[in-house]
Amino acid sequence: MRDHDLVRRIVYEMGRPLTRIPVTVKCRIGVDGDDDYDRLCNFVTSVKSAGANHVIVHARTCMLNGLNPSQNRNIPPLQPHIVHQLVRDFPDMTFCLNGGITSFDQADTHMVNPYPYTPPSGALFDLPPVPSVMLGRLAWHDPLAFHSVDTRYFHAKSPNLTRRQIIDGYLDYAAQFDVYQPGQAEGPDVVPMYMLIRPLHYLFAGCKGAKQFRIECCRLYEAKGKGGGVCLADLVAEAVETGVDAALLDEAITRD
Ligand SMILES: Cc1cc2nc3c(=O)[nH]c(=O)nc-3n(C[C@H](O)[C@H](O)[C@H](O)COP(=O)(O)O)c2cc1C
């Protein structure tokens, strides 16, 4: 974001008529604490001139010197109103708001109605809603929050899955990969066991025993999975047995 022209040239080259790849851009509202709105608008104008009409904006500045990636996802303050301002000021582009959204109700406060904003010196006014949001850590910390997302937004039939069905589906998916064994050559289909287990860590978020299940997943991975000599299904079954009430596996998932 420091070098607008470099980004413009990259976007242009990626989206050249020869490749016909639709290019989108993801950015912050600024770099190293500089959240100057005109500068952000110049950046957006620049990528637009190169053919990118959709910009995903993580509504924080990033600190390239001094904060690590994890701190950069938490410490610089969120300023979602800036993304709403972009929606107002670039009506022929689309924007996606990213950063710090932890529920779908919260997402709706940005997407459904005008967004009320009071500047530090001035009176409250309304900004237009954003057309979309991108959620990152919610998928990680509470994957089942997404259980009825298609019902909520696309009027799809509720999937009505149980955790057992989700685990079975996930194990089928994971079966396409070879679990990495020490000394084995790496390749696109060779995946370390910890990467296959991690998406299940928060499967019981919000339930009694959720933390214990997570601890068991890690413990069993350390004890048995590291060497690659255990199958994922067995490891998950053991973590369930030790960590949570097995009845939860077949209970209906009741989430918004
Ligand atoms: C599990 C997970 C998956 C993500 N996937 C993507 C992705 O596919 N594309 C992307 O641009 N950012 C992705 N991100 C980054 C987030 O969109 C995001 O920029 C950052 O985590 C801040 O948003 P959050 O507060 O909703 O987590 C992902 C983050 C997480 C934790």
Does the residue 144 lie in any domain?
no
β pairing state of 25-31 and 54-62: parallel
Distance 236 CA to ligand 1 centre (A): 25
Whether residues 39 and 81 fall in one domain: yes
Residue 73 beta carbon below 6 angstroms from any ligand 1 atom: yes
Residues 133 and 170 in one domain: no
Domain with 88, as residue range(s), is 4-137
Task: Point out which residues pair with 126 in neighbouring strands.
Answer: 116
Ligand 1 atom closest to the Cα of residue 101 is 26
Q: Name the residue among 44, 128, 48 with its Cα closest to residue 87.
A: 128
Substitution candidate for ligand 1 out of 57, 134, 141, 201 with most atoms within 8 A of CB: 134
How confident is the prediction along the chain (256 residues), in pLDDT tens digits per residue?
Answer: 999 999 999 999 998 877 778 899 999 999 998 889 999 999 999 999 999 999 999 999 999 988 999 999 999 999 999 999 999 999 999 999 999 999 999 999 999 999 999 998 899 999 999 999 999 999 999 999 999 899 999 999 988 899 999 999 999 999 998 888 777 887 888 888 888 999 999 999 989 999 999 999 999 888 887 766 678 898 899 999 888 888 999 998 876 5
- Counting the structural domains of the chain, the total is 2
